[in-house]
C-alpha cells in the first residue's frame, strides 16, 4: 500500500486525485496540504507542508508554484520522494528541483498523460525528417480561462523535445505583435489560447512548401493527468535519489 501526501489537495486536480485514489486498492492518501480547507476530506489537511507530521511514502504535488520551494526543502529533509506536477516554475525553482533530486527521488513532468509522453517521441522522429526539408514548426496550446501560466508547461515540454533534435540554433518565439519582420526559419513559434473550460489541446504544426502536417493531442478530462500522477507515485515510492520522468513509469509497466 503506497501512502501518499497530496500537496494541493483542495485544488481541482487534488480533488480528482483524491477521488481516484479512494477507489484504488494499491494506494491511500494519508494527508493533504492546502491553505484552504472546508473539512470535506477523510484525511487530515495541513495549511503548510512544514506542519505535516504524517508519515508517507511519496508526495504528489499539484499546488501553486509559490509553494514549491518549501515543498522541496521538506522532501529533502524528510527523505520523501515527490512527483512534481506543478507548472509555471521559475528557472530558479527548476534548478531547485534538480538539486533536490540529488538527495531524494523526484519525478517531474509538465504533463502526466501517456498520450503526451508518446507524442514527444513521435515529434522527435518527425523533426528529424521534416526540419531538414525546410518545414517550419509552430505550437498552439489551448486551455481553460482559469489557467494562469502561458505558454503551458506541456507546450514547452513538446517544444523542448523538438529543440533537442534541432539544437541550440533554434529558439522559441512567443509574440510577433511588436515587430514586422519575416519569420526566422530557426524559430519555434509557441502560441497560447485561453477560454471557457478547455481542459487542454496541443497542436504541433509542421508547415512546409505546399503541405502541412499536424499532430494534435486533446484532453477531454483532467482524469488523464490524475491517473498518470497516481501511477507515477506508485512507481516512485521507495526509489533511490535521482531525477525521473514519465518515460521511466511507462518503461516499468
* Catalytic residue list: 143, 147
Residue in 78, 10, 84, 95 with CA at minimum distance from that of residue 44: 10
Decide if 189 contacts 206 (C-beta within 8 A): no
Q: Are 149 and 165 contacting, i.e. CB atoms less than 8 angstroms apart?
A: no
User: Annotated binding site, which residues?
Assistant: 8-13, 37, 85-87, 109-112, 144, 153-154
How far apart CA 1 and CA 13 sit, in angstroms, is 22
| Distances, alpha carbon 88 to alpha carbons 65, 129, 152, 160, 216, in Å | 6, 31, 8, 15, 22
End-to-end CA distance of the chain: 17
Strand segments, DSSP code E, in 195-241 are 200-208, 211-219
| Burial of 17: CB neighbours in 10 Å, binned 0-12, 13-18, 19+ | buried
Question: How many Cβ atoms are within 10 Å of 219's Cβ, its own excluded?
Answer: 19
Tell me the DSSP string of 146-184: T--SSS-HHHHHHHHHHHHHH-TT-EEE---TT---PPP
Known binding residues for (S)-2,3,4,5-tetrahydrodipicolinate are 144, 153-154
Amino acid at each position: 500500500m503506497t501512502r501518499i501526501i497530496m500537496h494541493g489537495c483542495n485544488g481541482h486536480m487534488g480533488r480528482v486525485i483524491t477521488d481516484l485514489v479512494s477507489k484504488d486498492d494499491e494506494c491511500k492518501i494519508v494527508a493533504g496540504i492546502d491553505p484552504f480547507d472546508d473539512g470535506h476530506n477523510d484525511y487530515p489537511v495541513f495549511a503548510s507542508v512544514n506542519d505535516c507530521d504524517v508519515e508517507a511514502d511519496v508526495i504528489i504535488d499539484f499546488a501553486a508554484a509559490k509553494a514549491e520551494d518549501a515543498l522541496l526543502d521538506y522532501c529533502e529533509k524528510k527523505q520523501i520522494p515527490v512527483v512534481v506536477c506543478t507548472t509555471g516554475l521559475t528557472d530558479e525553482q527548476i534548478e531547485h528541483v534538480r538539486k533536490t533530486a540529488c538527495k531524494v527521488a523526484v519525478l517531474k513532468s509538465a504533463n502526466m498523460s501517456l498520450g503526451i509522453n508518446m507524442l514527444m517521441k513521435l515529434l522527435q522522429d518527425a523533426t528529424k525528417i521534416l526540419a531538414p526539408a525546410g518545414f517550419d514548426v509552430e505550437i498552439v496550446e489551448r486551455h481553460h480561462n482559469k489557467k494562469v501560466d502561458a505558454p503551458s508547461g506541456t507546450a514547452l515540454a513538446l517544444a523542448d523535445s523538438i529543440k533537442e533534435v534541432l539544437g541550440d540554433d533554434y529558439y522559441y518565439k512567443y509574440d510577433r505583435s511588436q515587430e514586422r519582420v519575416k519569420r526566422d526559419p530557426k524559430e519555434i513559434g509557441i502560441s497560447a489560447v485561453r477560454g471557457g473550460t478547455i481542459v487542454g489541446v496541443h497542436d504541433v504544426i509542421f508547415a512546409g512548401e505546399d503541405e502541412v502536417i499536424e499532430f494534435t493531442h486533446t484532453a477531454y478530462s483532467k482524469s488523464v493527468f490524475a491517473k498518470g500522477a497516481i501511477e507515477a507515485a506508485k512507481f516512485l515510492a521507495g526509489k533511490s535519489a535521482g531525477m525521473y520522468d514519465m518515460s521511466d513509469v511507462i518503461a516499468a509497466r
